[in-house]
Structure 1
Amino acid sequence: MFAKNVGGIEKVLRVVIGLALIAGALMGYGTWMWIGIIPLATALLGSCPLYTILGKGTCPLHRK
C-alpha cells in the first residue's frame, strides 16, 4: 500500500516524539501537541508522505 521509507532508528525516534507530544496534550500543555499523531502514524506505517514526494528515505532496504 505505502512504500516503506522510514528506517529503524528513525521509527523509534518518531514513536518517542509522537508519544511525548500526545502525552503533553493529554496533560493540558496545549492542543497543538496533538500534532504528535503525525510522527506516530508515520512510524507505525513505516512510510512518510513527505519523503515520498521528495524521493528520500532512511530505510536501507528500499533506498533508491
Structure 2
Amino acid sequence: MDLLREIARRIRDGSARISDALNRMYQHKAAGDFDSARQEMRDVLAVEVVPLYREIAEGQLEDMADEP
C-alpha cells in the first residue's frame, strides 16, 4: 500500500508541476522569451521522475529547438 501511495503522490505532484510549467512556458513563448520558455522545461526535467511528464518536457524542448 505504501508503494501505491508513493506512485499516486509522484503522479499528482508531477502532473501539477508539468501543468504549471507548461502554462509559464506558453506565457514566455507568447512574449517572445524562448530562453525562459526552455528553462521552464529544463527545470521540470531536473526533478521529474514520471516518464510521461519527462517525455512531455523533452518534446517541448525539441519543438523549440528551431526558435531563437
What TM-score, normalized to structure 1?
0.43
Structure 1 or 2: more helix by fraction: 2
TM-score, normalised with respect to structure 2:
0.41
